[in-house]
Structure 1
Amino acid sequence: MLEDEHGHRPTGPNRREVLRSAAVAGAGVAVGALSVTPVFGGGSGLAGSNGRPEPDAASPQFTLAIMPDTQFLYWGSQNSINPAPLEESFRYVIGSDDNIVFLAHLGDLTQDGGATSFEAVGRTFDLLDAHGVGYSVLAGNHDVTGDDTRGSTPYLRVMGPRRFRRSKTFAGADAGGYNTAHIFRAGGREWLLLALDWRMSDQGVAWADRFLTDHPRLPAILTTHDLVDSPYDDNVYPYESGDPENNAVLSRYGRQVWDQLIAGHDQIFLTINGHHWPPARTRRRNAAGNDVHLHLTNYQNRYFGGAAMLRLYHFDLARDVIDVETLAPYFLAQEPARRSPLAAQHLRLTTPVDRFSVPIDFARRFHGFDPVPVRPARPADQLVVPGTLAYWRFDNGGVTGGPVQLGQTVRDLSGRGNDLTVVAVAGAAADALTWSSDHHPDQPAHACLRFAGGRDPLRGAYLTTGDEAPLNAETFDRGYTIEAFLKIPLDWDEDDNAWMPLLTRRGRSGDAGKSGPNADPRDPLAGLNISSNGREPQFNFYPRNQSGPTTNWGHGLVEDTWWHVAVVNDGRRTVMYVEGSPVLDNPSTRSVGIASLGLPWLFGGHEYAGVVDNVFHGWIGDVRIVNRALPPDQFMPAK
């Protein structure tokens, strides 16, 4: 049996709440589901009142909507029921373009827990039911008394499990009906949300424990009414509350929930509760050593009882972050000229406790209970697509960390004979070029070469095609795709490693008759390089159809991260892609083929004025050259 913060069995509200009437608390009659005809307005974004939101379950960007204590809107014993703010928040959820996949209420739906209040609450929630919105509710201390063995109450009769019998997201409830589980699909996977009573009994804890155990691979969000509290007072402006990322503490009851349920279930990565105020948050390490983010959000002490404010958790799995914002749809829907001064102040809350970001490496955080399968290496013949002119990979070399020997041959797995041979700069160290098992997660071969090169002074080792390699004479008049995996080290230095090369076509442009605008007669005929200050991928080349060069530029590449870069020409125009995404600086200039003097290609080396002047510093994985334009879904990572 869980206790309250004073160590007693819970029988009512805590010290921060207004005591309710015992007579009202005991009243109530059964209330069935009531039908309503929703009326939309205020820019809901729906085409009509019968429109149903259709969240994109595959998108890596989605939103979880949280609604804390709305009790002051429903106080039937005082003849004070004002559903308009809650209705407007529901309209916002229904019509939002934020890809809202689920809404969770944090309890204290009413001020008095009475039948009249819950009848009104039920009518308002019918709006969500009518539009198929997935949501959860839970009981707060103003909705019920005692723990989750309390039996029938107006809350249970109106907002209990019976309400969710047609919901696609409802996954189950405990025997008493006060603890429920909900599973929604978002970001291409399923997520579990537990909506737990404000005071769980031992049976309630056991039920939640079993549900988590029975769904071991689902990342879980735990919602309840009381878990963490804010240690600073209401009159302290949030900027003055210390560290806004660590300004919450477990309540007495919250410590029991942590010890008995949260700490031992690594699935639970986020908890959200109301009850206390002002808003606050903190992190705690669970038994597995992973962070659990614990958030308190509650605005009942703000103007208009909080006006059914929404806390929006914008998940972005692509950026590994949750961006959090707080807004009041009821005030936003009002005409600006008609808003009261206090309404205008509460449209959006932007203090550090109301608007913030939570960085989470989701794959790493979930690895312990739902590891992302490591993509296996793929055989070379799967990558030798029609038109492949060269394919180099490094999984048949020496041991990781071992040197690649001078003169060693790396075979061209396309079968075209464009083998590479290792060449060292004079005086190169033994470890100037080494084998490595490091690789891009979507790289076909789980291996690469580690280059310890530089230009000031020139040092390192690189590779080159032979003098008679067919690739040397290829002009690519019908198009091409050049792909490479690379990683830039943390010790990359602008002075020493600027313009470091992945791939270079030898031959001075002046000797090929190139003398147009921006032409440098000493330039090589083509080069895929990493630029100077911004570590941007650059492809500078001399097409056969023009006298000057064409240059494609990517954005700055973060160090110590694997990247896939592709340059694609369809016989008319050249486009660079980074991680399968077209970059901004892709000139519209018509560019046909690549000029050639029949000279070798350098792999990891660059020449200027016919002399090697720079060697790559970092890791290079698989490289493939195809004599036609490939779409991104046929690039090496997608194969």
Structure 2
Amino acid sequence: MQNTPRDPARPPVSRRGFLVGSGLAGAAGLAAANGLGSAPAVADPLSGTAAAGPGAAAHAAQSVASTGHTGRWRPDTTSPRFTLAVMPDTQYMFDGAAVDEAPMRASLEYVVREQSRHNTVFLVHLGDLTQNGAASEMQAAGSVFDVLDRAGAPYSVLAGNHDIDSSTDDQRGRTPYLDVFGPQRFRRSPSWIGSSPDGYNSAHRFTAGGREWIVLALDWHTSAGGLAWASSVLAARPHTPVILTTHTLVDSDPTGGAAFDAYGQQLWDAFIAQHDQVFLTLNGHYWGPGRTTKQNAAGHDVELHLTNYQNRYYGGAAMIRLYHVDLERNVIDVETLSPFLLGGGLDDTNELAAQELRLSGDVDRFTMAVDFDARFAGFAPVAPRASRPAASMLVPGTLAYWRFDGNADGAALASSTRVRDQSGHGNDLLVAARTGAVAGALRWSNAHHPDQPGAGSLVLQGGKPGGQHLQTLDAAPINAEHFRGGYTIEAFFSLPTTFDPSANGFSALLSQYSSAGQVGKARSSDGDPDEPAVTLSLSGDRELQWCVYPASQDGSLTNWGHELPLGQWWHVAVVNDRSHTVMYVDGCPVVRNPSTRNRGLSTVGKPWLLGGYRYGGVLDQVFVGSIGDVRIVGRALEPGEFMIA
């Protein structure tokens, strides 16, 4: 970051002496005109091999000796939750004779020490490591980064305008920055991909969430040749998401938003917008923090974040940002803190330090939503899970298994349609002969839960007045089953965004034709003799309800789920182990599972209804939504045996 104060009379792109004259197209010519054509031999663009420059061999040997042998850096590369650590401008801690390594050392030691807790996978520095780019300053900063080298922690650095001659681009040749932080420092790291021939642009990789990610660290001003090299890195890994780091790209506004500076606009137009793999950019240089979202040429969002705290007390005290990525929740949670100040590096009585321990403003601590599958679909689409043969779903004890694939999408079921029980036990489903059902109330669909075995579903429409449902044959063996050996009942389903709580509430996915009174239950005040003896329903609040009258007691027993968002697919499983009943949603147990001991279900040989709910001897509700595969097993299954597994 340049030290020139703000001049409100100038437009934002000109503030703080920002260099606007060196465009990307003319960068190489500028370097040649200034005699900067000779650069040290560095890494091959993709192989990562490098010839060390003068003085580099000793450092490389030291790095090899101290990297990857402590065993302290062990990220869980399969976990859907991981963290990227970000360190912006640290220049005021390395300014001539004013050198204080302690803040940076505290931050790096924190990242290593807390690696397991945060599942940290990588650290990026955003440039301006030093104030003047002097050899002594670079060597001091480089010695602190040995903290990461000794732990085997992967990281990237890049040159900011204070680390080199700010009037040059990446063709500037040898500098103290390159001597300390050039390719020779990284070439033996497993995270190293390579550098541009000049050594100032580098590419790194890490594995997290079961996939590879790229960190592309670009110079203060990357030449056209540097961008061509960067394009070659992405072309060699076309399915890998990319986090791009550079020293300057966007500047903040007073609201915490951000906009391109002149160089940033060029970098966006020439490179970022053209590469859909780049979904997040991180830069420093300006203060204070800000962020914005832009759409690239593919029409996809790119998050652009400015992070810099050097203007705050103690030069920002090597403050770091932690980007906590959660692939399951589809969010990135961001927090900002100073390990040096949190650790009492300036004494607990320092009032100014106390204000900087953790930053909690909207620009420093926030959550951003990223639908990772959708965002990466353009270059790394998630292959749909292949359908599985019905025979592979017939686990021991399977009593009935219905699926709805293999039919014309959108076609209506005829009144004579028969859905075969895939278990072979003869528990086939028929369209109920319901008076008042509207035409097309039952339709086939190719839509289904992504982890469903069968690639199809049944769409139920019409609701209470004109809806239709299926039911088992009158002589189906499962009608007389009492499940005294336990049971597992599973179903895939989806609720439409038009779900009406008053009209569609307490409709059933699966229920028994017989009522509690008909099976001899609800004789006391605990229960309702007119409600189904067994029902898997959805309340008006879209809470799953397994309400049954066990054979072991007179009254009802209910397991309750939680409110389910509309417009997406779900899997429910209800498991009884001959002692207790547990409900699972998408393989996860719900909270309201009663501790009451119970066994078996009360039935009197009447059909099971798919999508129907009878009350007081008449059809009362018809499910509105989609139902996928349904399986009934006469024993308790473990979650790893569910159809969703």
Q: Which runs of 5+ in 2 are unaligned?
A: 1-13, 25-52, 64-68
CA distance in 2, matches of 1:516, 1:270: 63
Identity of aligned residues (%): 53
Counterpart for residue 194 of structure 2: 172
**Secondary structure at the counterpart of residue 565 of structure 2:** coil
Counterpart for residue 100 of structure 1: 120
**Secondary structure at the counterpart of residue 513 of structure 2:** strand
Deviating above 6 A after TM superposition, structure 1's stretches of 4 or more consecutive aligned residues are none
Map 1:591-602 onto structure 2 (within 5 A): 591-602=598-609
Counterpart for residue 306 of structure 1: 316
Query: Which string of whole-angstrom CA distances, capped at 9 and with x for unpartnered residues, describes residues 96-149 of structure 1?
Result: 211111000000000011111111111100011111111100011111112111
Counterpart for residue 527 of structure 1: 535
Counterpart for residue 35 of structure 2: none
Map 1:7-46 onto structure 2 (within 5 A): 7-8=21-22, 30=55, 32-33=58-59
Counterpart for residue 420 of structure 1: 429
Counterpart for residue 188 of structure 1: 210
Query: 2:70, 2:152 within 8 Å by CA — same for their partners in 1?
Result: no
CA distance in 2, matches of 1:9, 1:512: 83
Counterpart for residue 299 of structure 2: 289
Counterpart for residue 159 of structure 1: 181
Matched, 1:465 2:475: no
Query: 1:35, 1:126 within 8 Å by CA — same for their partners in 2?
Result: no
CA distance in 2, matches of 1:577, 1:562: 14
**Most deviating of 541-550 and 135-144:** 541-550
Which amino acid in structure 1 is aligned with residue 210 of structure 2? G
Query: Which string of whole-angstrom CA distances, capped at 9 and with x for unpartnered residues, describes residues 460-504 of structure 1?
Result: 101111111100011111111111010001111111011010000
Which amino acid in structure 1 is aligned with residue 469 of structure 2? Y
Shift in Å at residue 336 of structure 1?
10
C-alpha change, 1:305 and 1:463, in structure 2 (3 Å) is: same
Query: 2:570, 2:586 within 8 Å by CA — same for their partners in 1?
Result: yes
Which amino acid in structure 2 is aligned with residue 341 of structure 1? E
Matched, 1:316 2:338: no
Q: Which runs of 5+ in 1 are unaligned?
A: 11-27, 37-48
Matched, 1:511 2:531: no
Shift in Å at residue 337 of structure 1?
7.3
Map 1:531-546 onto structure 2 (within 5 A): 531-532=539-540, 534-546=541-553
Shift in Å at residue 433 of structure 1?
1.3
Matched, 1:360 2:374: no
**Most deviating of 183-192 and 546-555:** 546-555
Q: 1:450 aligns with which of 433, 436, 459?
A: 459
Shift in Å at residue 629 of structure 1?
1.3
C-alpha change, 1:396 and 1:143, in structure 2 (3 Å) is: closer
Query: 2:187, 2:194 within 8 Å by CA — same for their partners in 1?
Result: no
C-alpha change, 1:160 and 1:339, in structure 2 (3 Å) is: farther
Query: 1:219, 1:268 within 8 Å by CA — same for their partners in 2?
Result: yes
Counterpart for residue 495 of structure 1: 502
Shift in Å at residue 459 of structure 1?
2.9
**Most deviating of 349-358 and 611-620:** 349-358
Matched, 1:325 2:335: yes
Which amino acid in structure 1 is aligned with residue 217 of structure 2? A
CA distance in 2, matches of 1:148, 1:118: 18
Query: Which string of whole-angstrom CA distances, capped at 9 and with x for unpartnered residues, describes residues 147-176 of structure 1?
Result: 111221111111111111332211111111
C-alpha change, 1:272 and 1:543, in structure 2 (3 Å) is: same
Query: 1:35, 1:123 within 8 Å by CA — same for their partners in 2?
Result: no
C-alpha change, 1:161 and 1:282, in structure 2 (3 Å) is: same
Shift in Å at residue 51 of structure 1?
6.0
Query: 2:126, 2:284 within 8 Å by CA — same for their partners in 1?
Result: yes
CA distance in 2, matches of 1:521, 1:8: 83
**Secondary structure at the counterpart of residue 469 of structure 2:** strand
Map 1:226-237 onto structure 2 (within 5 A): 226-230=248-252, 232=253, 236=254
Matched, 1:67 2:67: no
Query: 2:403, 2:456 within 8 Å by CA — same for their partners in 1?
Result: yes
Counterpart for residue 15 of structure 1: none
Counterpart for residue 485 of structure 1: 492
Query: 1:530, 1:537 within 8 Å by CA — same for their partners in 2?
Result: yes
Map 1:114-153 onto structure 2 (within 5 A): 114-145=134-165, 146-153=168-175
Which amino acid in structure 2 is aligned with residue 607 of structure 1? R
Q: 1:624 aligns with which of 605, 622, 631?
A: 631
C-alpha change, 1:336 and 1:451, in structure 2 (3 Å) is: farther
With structure 2 as the length reference, what TM-score do the two structures score? 0.88
Shift in Å at residue 6 of structure 1?
2.3
Shift in Å at residue 201 of structure 1?
1.6
With structure 1 as the length reference, what TM-score do the two structures score? 0.89
Counterpart for residue 41 of structure 1: none
Counterpart for residue 374 of structure 1: 384
Shift in Å at residue 401 of structure 1?
2.0
Query: 1:30, 1:158 within 8 Å by CA — same for their partners in 2?
Result: no
Map 1:242-261 onto structure 2 (within 5 A): 244=256, 247-261=257-271
Aligned residues: 589
Shift in Å at residue 516 of structure 1?
4.8
CA distance in 1, matches of 2:551, 2:349: 66
CA distance in 2, matches of 1:260, 1:113: 28
Shift in Å at residue 198 of structure 1?
0.6
Query: 2:348, 2:354 within 8 Å by CA — same for their partners in 1?
Result: no
Shift in Å at residue 193 of structure 1?
0.4
Counterpart for residue 434 of structure 1: 443
**Most deviating of 543-552 and 265-274:** 543-552
**Secondary structure at the counterpart of residue 363 of structure 1:** helix
**Secondary structure at the counterpart of residue 545 of structure 2:** strand
CA distance in 1, matches of 2:626, 2:418: 18
Query: 1:270, 1:294 within 8 Å by CA — same for their partners in 2?
Result: yes
Counterpart for residue 232 of structure 2: 210
CA distance in 1, matches of 2:454, 2:549: 31
Query: Which string of whole-angstrom CA distances, capped at 9 and with x for unpartnered residues, describes residues 27-76 of structure 1?
Result: x994753979xxxxxxxxxxxx956032111111111011000000011x
**Secondary structure at the counterpart of residue 425 of structure 1:** coil
Query: 1:418, 1:470 within 8 Å by CA — same for their partners in 2?
Result: yes
CA distance in 1, matches of 2:418, 2:71: 65
